[in-house]
Structure formats: structure tokens, C-alpha cells
Amino acid sequence: MIRPRLLAATLWLAAALPAFASDASTDEHPQEVKLSDRQIESGGFAVVPVGGGKIGRHITVPGTIMPNGDRIARVAVRLLGTVTELRKRVGDPVEAGEVIAVIESREVADAKSDYLGARLLFELQQKLFNRSRTLFEGKVVSENEYLRAEVTFQDARVKYEAARQKLFALSLTAQQIDALPQQPGETLRLQDLRAPISGRIAERRVEIGSLVGREGQESELFVIIDQSEMWGDLAILPTDLPKVRVGQQITIVAEKSGETSPATVLSISPLLEKETRAARAVVSINNSTGHWRPGAFMTAQIPFDLTEAAVVIPASALQTLEGQPSVFVRIPEGFSARTVSIGRQDDGRVEITSGLAAGDRIATKNTFVLKADLGKSAVEHQH
């Protein structure tokens, strides 16, 4: 079955070839394909400068995409209450600090009231104690009166701190606690539940009216995942473990689409799985495009025995002309076919031992279009 993208590319090339052939090389330059800058841009030839790089061998291992364990937040409440508002559904994006639900709770109302009363008493006793200390230093009041004022002040401070810590235990933040004196009394029973990280809602485990925190147990309401960076879970055979190291740069390939992304080895388990006798390795994947999703299968290409090469090009840049490996070098008039000698090959890259120099600009995609155009020109030249 022909894939839609392949079919579209085939139809485009069929339409494009006659236009390219009309500008084909003349008898004086049979190895050139003359194209305008506009034709080169529309042809999608991906012209890039040639450079050096590392090339070697690689192993291929299976793996699965999973969420980054450091970027998962489980949003829970530790208070007895009822869900009165849900502002996010599964899949919705959230920002850190954004309100995602509202809980109505008598427990939180009592705790807030106790805190406000303790805070007011603490502030009053602090003023009385400061005044008593000033009078004592001025020998206006006795030492006993001063000590009684200090004991009362310290008792108020202990109660204030205890009330504050209770609110922390109910998952209120310091900013929320400090804002309580300005909060209307009728809203004290309501508690905003905020997202601790930015990401997307992966799970929502409650509905409006749900009772949470029953019997003093913590209730998990949401799971948020930051998908900007994912992990890959790889299975490495014991014989391949010496080829893998923490910090190593590898390439992962999607099972169905074949799309690739760079990744970095984060950790290698010292234990072997009982069933597979393979070691688990975790790799970090930049997922800013959102392509990789948890649960997707992929393979990882892990390079080893890498050595430097003066000239390395993508394998897609190579074509065979008259039985010789060749590339198309960008020239002012279009492209010129040039025979090259190849060395080692790995991961879709080829070492060029002669025929190209660093800085030469070559076509790396759709080079079969140029080959076809060049072949058509050669036939016309023979006739």
C-alpha cells in the first residue's frame, strides 16, 4: 500500500521533472543539472555544507516512551471536604500555580478561623509585650508584671505557629496563608487547589460533588505530566552493556513513523530483569515538539567504536551514476554531479574518502530527481 506522503511526493516529482529537464545541461556540460534558485528551493534538495564528524558502528535495542519521573505531579488533598468546582479536564494544559479545582470543607474553614484568631491575639500580645518592656526599662512597671506579659506573649506565639502549621498540613501555601486576613469570611470554607507544575492533565479522579479526604486519608485528585521532556525505557542485553554509558548521546526511532530524535543516557540499572535477562537503561528525550507520547514503542540506535572522519555526509545524498557513487554539488548554475569514494557507513551516514572537501555544498534530499534529470539529458545528448 502506498503511503499518502509517498504518493504525494511521487506525483510532485512527475510534475517537476519536465520543468527541471527544460533547464537541463547542454552538450558542453553533460554532468550538470541547470536549475534556478527558485527551482532548487521548491525541489526540497536540502543543500548543506559538507563537514567532518564521528562515524562507527551501532547496536539497536527496543524501548518504550514513558513520562519523565521528575516531571510528574500528583495533586492530592489532605482535608475532609467536597469538590465544588473542577476547572480542568484530561488533556487540558495547565500552568504552575493555576487553580484546577475548588474544595468546600468545614475542616479548612475551622482551621482558617483558628489561624486568624491566633494571629490577631499574637499581634495584640506582641504590642502589649513591647509596651511592657519599654515601661520596665523605664522602671515604670515591676519585673513581675514584665515577666507575666512575656509569658502571655510567648503563649500567643506558640498558638499562632501551631495554627499556621495546621494550615500547611492541609496543603495551603505560605502565600495563601498570608492572604487570609484579606479573604472574605464567607469564602473561608473554600480552598483552591493549584497545579504545582506546568504540563497537561493526565488523570482526573474526581467529579463535582465527590467527597475527598474521608477518614483522614489523602485523596489524589489529579495527575499532571510535563511532556516537554520524556524518558525512554530501554532493554540492554548483557553482551551490549559495555557499549552503553551514562551521558552517551544516542538516537531513538519511532516504531511506525520512523521519526528520529536525539537522546541522552541518564542511568543504567545494575540489575538484570528476571524474565528477559536484560538491564534497564533510561534515556532523556527532548519532546518540545510533542511528538513522543507515553506508551509508544521505539528503538534506540546506540553508537560505539566512534572515530573522527574528515568528511561525513548523509546516505541520502549518494546516488550511483555509471556504476560509481556520486553526489550533486551546488554550483551557481544548479548542481554538478561528482564521483566520490566512500569509506565507513553507520546510522544513515557515509564517510567520503575522496571527491569532496569540507565546505562543499551538496544536495542531501530528493537527489534521485537530479539523477533522473541528468539521465534524461544524457539520453537526449546521445540522440
CATH of the domain at 302: 2.40.30.170
Which pLDDT score, from 0 to 100, does residue 17 have?
45
Residues 64 and 192 in one domain: no
Residues 87 and 214 in one domain: yes
CB-count burial class (<10 Å; 0-12, 13-18, 19+) for 160: buried
Angle at 371 between CA 365 and CA 377, to 5 degrees: 145
Q: What is the CATH number for 141?
A: 2.40.50.100
Which pLDDT score, from 0 to 100, does residue 10 have?
43
Domain end, chosen from 207, 225, 243, is at 225
Residues 297 and 316 in one domain: no
Domain end, chosen from 190, 225, 260, is at 225
Residues 181 and 41 in one domain: no
Is the pTM here over 0.85, yes or no?
Answer: no
Using left for φ > 0, alpha for ψ between -120 and 50, and beta otherwise, residue 171 falls in: left
Which pLDDT score, from 0 to 100, does residue 30 have?
57
Residues 115 and 219 in one domain: yes
Residues 289 and 316 in one domain: no
88: containing domain? 77-225
Residues 185 and 198 in one domain: yes
Domain end, chosen from 272, 306, 340, is at 306
Residues 245 and 324 in one domain: no
Number of structural domains found in the chain = 3
Q: What is the CATH number for 330?
A: 2.40.420.20
Residues 291 and 345 in one domain: no
Residues 301 and 311 in one domain: no
Per-10-residue mean pLDDT of the chain, 383 residues long, equals 45 45 45 87 89 84 93 87 92 93 90 93 93 87 89 94 90 86 86 90 90 72 93 93 92 84 93 88 91 91 84 90 91 92 84 90 90 68 52
Q: What is the 3-state secondary structure (H, E, C) of 236-274?
A: ECHHHHHHCCCCCEEEEEECCCCCEEEEEEEEEEEEECC
Residues 41 and 167 in one domain: no
Which pLDDT score, from 0 to 100, does residue 232 have?
95
- Ranges of H-type helices in the chain: 4-22, 37-43, 106-137, 143-169, 174-178, 367-382
Residues 213 and 249 in one domain: no
